[in-house]
Structure 1
């Protein structure tokens, strides 16, 4: 890119003290003959920094670098009295050194989400992790992001409540003052680890510092830095060599003398940025004097996709910029393969939008003004160029366009991989497009319930393929998480994304290597038939600033299903629409099942001393809603018969055989309820796993006892009692199944094609051959569908009981029989074109 300015402001300008000005001090070190091993220079620095920055309280240990400091501090805090896998709880939005240090200490990083304001670890995510993993968490390692201060009292309470070790990663915060004006970390007995790397505000050549209010803690760590020698030349604890040299100690002493002026200067620069960057989202800095490493901001959503162009534009104007930490740890290949990763939507958003600007000792306020002007100029120019380029772009040609990269869309690639045909499909011209940036799990991770597929079903997606890298995912961290639930009633959906996303990454990598294209961050807005065959497909970037078009021979719609309050409100009970009977008390089943929904439910029931809840529907989502209500922690104040399930069809449990059903005392089925292929009883209509156990209790099968808080009512066409149940409920959950999220399709003249999926109720998207059908049931040429609410029902050689009248959903079906059917259609299309 052509340079637009001779002015140069680098992102980072190291400013350690100058050794060339320390001739006498260096000569004194040479004369002493002691260059390391806790020499007088380093020891004097440790004493001085305790007095100057930590009010004379506690002790400090200087180390060769901060990563070594983290390694020994984490190892000491975690101890070694454990068996099996133990975790270090770490925010995903941090530097790789923290997670590496935990691994070197023998722990598995457990990565969690960030707070949206200060970008440090999210308190709710920490609490959720302890609720899920409990005593498996050996140590918590929060990060004081980019030199800010964090609430250390919270971590003191957390350590006491869970009896867990705490190590504070305060890499850039040396010299920061907390809200009380004390040095960050002062008064706290756990280890706080700082960096003195040349790029940090407290800049030396290389080095680190560990502070603790407990001198005994520092004594133990000191022994660890010297090969574990707790006695003369005798190892008594785990050890390595992490000592700071005398020359580095000299640099640290000189930097200590100027750290207050350095901090005050950075504060002035940060204040100037805050005044000029009002249009951008900035990190919330905490403490009386944070030590900002550089100025970070979040680009607006409509600019985030152009971040690299904006950085290039700033570089052309003489301004250095970057994006720390993007990708965050949970998005980096090594940690995706070795860490345990919880859902990180906030960290994902920060990493996608963050931009880091210069803030260092060599700048002044006028530089800040120039940087901000260049940022605004680069943003405006980049957006203008990209919008113009999008306007004149031509359609891209492809063979097959799969719309949706969640479980449905990935099932097509999974089925192709199992059949050894993934590369064939890719070479034919395959494009996959999704609105999200990460493919695989779709929306599954946003639900707070367990799956109705077993752990073995999830893991089977990686088995029986000709690709060793895919089979290896069974033993990946995500795979091991799934396997943990092999004997459980389903897998918590919130824990499935690491495995499903890794699986998707493997499939798409294989496909891309064979010529396929993967496009993320775009939403398909519609498709129009082409007179010569195929489809012209339009897509728009989520921020609306860029559009793309494809000419596709075939399309696969894998956009999932949805529930909306309006369509559920039209459902009638005793002749009256639900919306009239329930009003504002009506909540969709999908909303009730989402993560965080329990807080909304508690708020709705807050004024009810003895709340009554009506759940309407006979679907898996209805039973899952009830299970969630009954298992709520802390428990909801539910008395006898507080929850009523209103359903129209009888509730049926799945059984693997007629003999198993009879052995359990269940006989309410006939020949048409048995799958002729598998012999399963209620193979498609039957509830499974956790929902099945709930149904068996409700039906009192095999002597089971119902939960006294739950009662059932089978709704009739004229049913005043059902009306009263709904009218008297404090909360009404409409769990009435999902509608297909169909794509707007148009004919060659631009007229909207009326699809079966657009009909009222809970219609189908596809026929029995996975072909998209119009409102009359006629297949739409070269359009196929798969996934939640698509409406495919197995029959014939695929099995399924003849009595089934609903929709069949499930990972196994999609990844095997149904996915294979779609792949067959796509590859037959290739043969037809070749002919």
Structure 2
């Protein structure tokens, strides 16, 4: 294995394409989103101008949904929604579960998951995750049912930071128990390709494929897709009659234009994320941090979230990195259960969640992150860890 000095030399050797860092480094942001540029959008924007169709399921949105459905295979139905939180809320509502019923949710997730459960009229029951992959497993969920504080009618597994959940295992649990399973794959555009279970994907600007604000449901259940569609458009279904209480959560033609341009470039975008991931893996190879299994190799996502070495505290390392102009983010904080909005809801033992919250940190990452930036992050992280040991 190469020494830290050798890696630093390789990554910091100047070349003709990357300028040397300034003497006083500028802030390196934790996220640097990138959406399609005007040149890629222009053909789609011209189609909007020419057709003068701006919303309400126009030709671009229909084309965008069809291309998204192609990623999931034969029989897939895609319903776009104004954002993934609404997509999850409306999908849970469309399942017509008893109001107040328990919905099992990992506490280690972004608060949007819990907000959606509550907005759908369900009661979140926060449970723990596997410390190895940071996700709730079907086996653990099955074991937890016996200790539930009431009847569990739904579970929302979360694809942690974009990792692929065990779809086959979750499908088996649904078949065995009758409990509805909805996958929160907000950050998992790259790995979401099976819609045997209702799957929600985010199209936020910070995601690997984004439109600014947006999200979608992918499912092979035609009836569910129709019910969710109805809920996004005032309860209408083929005529201007509100058949059910609903909302307005449609995606516009402009958002679809961005999505189509992003899909056009997706193969290249994915390769660029892989390249940036390898820069980070090489630069951080001597720091004893832990990556999620498969990150940057088997799958890509738009963030770099790492587990710090034993004994290192995320809050302390975060402060030292910020002082070194390297911005960080503890994306999921202390877990949903620790937020005032959800403290009254029941929870199981959360030992792994609390350990992850204290040791996991998001580092600067972007589709165009280069080797020099990766080296700067690694060196700053090494200094921060050394200061903690001192």
Q: Under a length normalisation based on structure 1, what TM-score does the superposition of the two structures give?
A: 0.42
**CA distances 1:310-351 after superposition (whole Å, capped 9, x unpaired):** 2233234332212121121011121112x2111100000000
Partner of 1:311: 318
Offset, 1:298: 1.8
Q: 1:63 aligns with which of 81, 84, 87?
A: 81
Residue 268, structure 1, aligned to residue 287, structure 2 = no
Which 4+ runs in 1 deviate beyond 6 A? none
Offset, 1:133: 3.3
Aligned length: 367
Matches within 5 A, 1:479-490: none
8 Å Cα contact 1:60-1:209 kept in structure 2: yes
Q: 1:290 aligns with which of 268, 291, 299?
A: 299
- What SS class does the counterpart of residue 90 from structure 1 fall into? strand
Partner of 2:186: 171
Offset, 1:28: 3.0
Residue 197, structure 1, aligned to residue 204, structure 2 = yes
Separation (CA, whole Å) in 2 of partners of 1:340 and 1:48 = 40
Q: 2:61 aligns with which of 42, 46, 71?
A: 42
Partner of 1:230: 237
**CA distances 1:482-533 after superposition (whole Å, capped 9, x unpaired):** xxxxxxxxxxxxxxxxxxxxxxxxxxxxxxxxxxxxxxxxxxxxxxxxxxxx
8 Å Cα contact 2:162-2:185 kept in structure 1: yes
Offset, 1:40: 0.8
Partner of 1:373: 379
Partner of 2:136: 121
Which moved further from structure 2: 233-242 or 221-230? Answer: 233-242
Separation (CA, whole Å) in 1 of partners of 2:291 and 2:77 = 34
Matches within 5 A, 1:403-414: none
Any unmatched runs of 5+ in structure 2? 1-21
Distance 1:355-1:277 versus aligned 2 partners, 3 A rule: farther
8 Å Cα contact 2:305-2:362 kept in structure 1: yes
Residue 92, structure 1, aligned to residue 107, structure 2 = yes
8 Å Cα contact 2:76-2:220 kept in structure 1: yes
Residue 73, structure 1, aligned to residue 91, structure 2 = yes
Partner of 2:169: 154
Residue 355, structure 1, aligned to residue 374, structure 2 = no
Coordinate RMSD, CA, aligned:
2.4
8 Å Cα contact 1:62-1:208 kept in structure 2: yes
Offset, 1:43: 0.6
Residue 328, structure 1, aligned to residue 343, structure 2 = no
Matches within 5 A, 1:702-741: none
Which moved further from structure 2: 311-320 or 251-260? Answer: 311-320
Matches within 5 A, 1:563-602: none
8 Å Cα contact 2:329-2:361 kept in structure 1: yes
Any unmatched runs of 5+ in structure 1? 177-183, 385-835
Distance 1:22-1:282 versus aligned 2 partners, 3 A rule: closer
Residue 257, structure 1, aligned to residue 264, structure 2 = yes
**CA distances 1:686-712 after superposition (whole Å, capped 9, x unpaired):** xxxxxxxxxxxxxxxxxxxxxxxxxxx
- What SS class does the counterpart of residue 230 from structure 1 fall into? coil
Separation (CA, whole Å) in 2 of partners of 1:131 and 1:288 = 37
Q: 2:124 aligns with which of 68, 91, 109?
A: 109
Separation (CA, whole Å) in 1 of partners of 2:326 and 2:368 = 13
Distance 1:357-1:90 versus aligned 2 partners, 3 A rule: same
8 Å Cα contact 2:303-2:365 kept in structure 1: yes
Q: 1:145 aligns with which of 160, 163, 169?
A: 160
Partner of 2:13: none
Separation (CA, whole Å) in 2 of partners of 1:123 and 1:40 = 40
Residue 244, structure 1, aligned to residue 251, structure 2 = yes
Offset, 1:135: 7.5
Partner of 2:350: 344
**CA distances 1:266-323 after superposition (whole Å, capped 9, x unpaired):** 223334433434512322237974232311122234221xx33422332343322121
- What SS class does the counterpart of residue 235 from structure 1 fall into? coil
8 Å Cα contact 2:30-2:363 kept in structure 1: yes
**CA distances 1:39-77 after superposition (whole Å, capped 9, x unpaired):** 1111111112222x2235412111111011001111123
8 Å Cα contact 1:70-1:193 kept in structure 2: yes
Distance 1:196-1:152 versus aligned 2 partners, 3 A rule: same
Separation (CA, whole Å) in 1 of partners of 2:242 and 2:166 = 36
Distance 1:237-1:286 versus aligned 2 partners, 3 A rule: farther
Higher relative contact order (CA 8 A, sep 6+): 2
Distance 1:32-1:268 versus aligned 2 partners, 3 A rule: same
Partner of 2:12: none
- What SS class does the counterpart of residue 311 from structure 2 fall into? helix
Separation (CA, whole Å) in 2 of partners of 1:196 and 1:34 = 22
Which moved further from structure 2: 151-160 or 116-125? Answer: 116-125
8 Å Cα contact 1:113-1:122 kept in structure 2: no
- What SS class does the counterpart of residue 25 from structure 1 fall into? helix
Separation (CA, whole Å) in 2 of partners of 1:9 and 1:218 = 42
Distance 1:265-1:21 versus aligned 2 partners, 3 A rule: closer
The structure that has the greater radius of gyration is 1
Matches within 5 A, 1:645-794: none
Q: Under a length normalisation based on structure 2, what TM-score does the superposition of the two structures give?
A: 0.87
8 Å Cα contact 2:129-2:353 kept in structure 1: yes
Separation (CA, whole Å) in 1 of partners of 2:365 and 2:326 = 11
Matches within 5 A, 1:457-476: none
- What SS class does the counterpart of residue 60 from structure 1 fall into? strand
Separation (CA, whole Å) in 1 of partners of 2:38 and 2:215 = 18
Separation (CA, whole Å) in 1 of partners of 2:25 and 2:357 = 31
Offset, 1:222: 1.2
Separation (CA, whole Å) in 1 of partners of 2:25 and 2:297 = 37
- What SS class does the counterpart of residue 312 from structure 1 fall into? helix
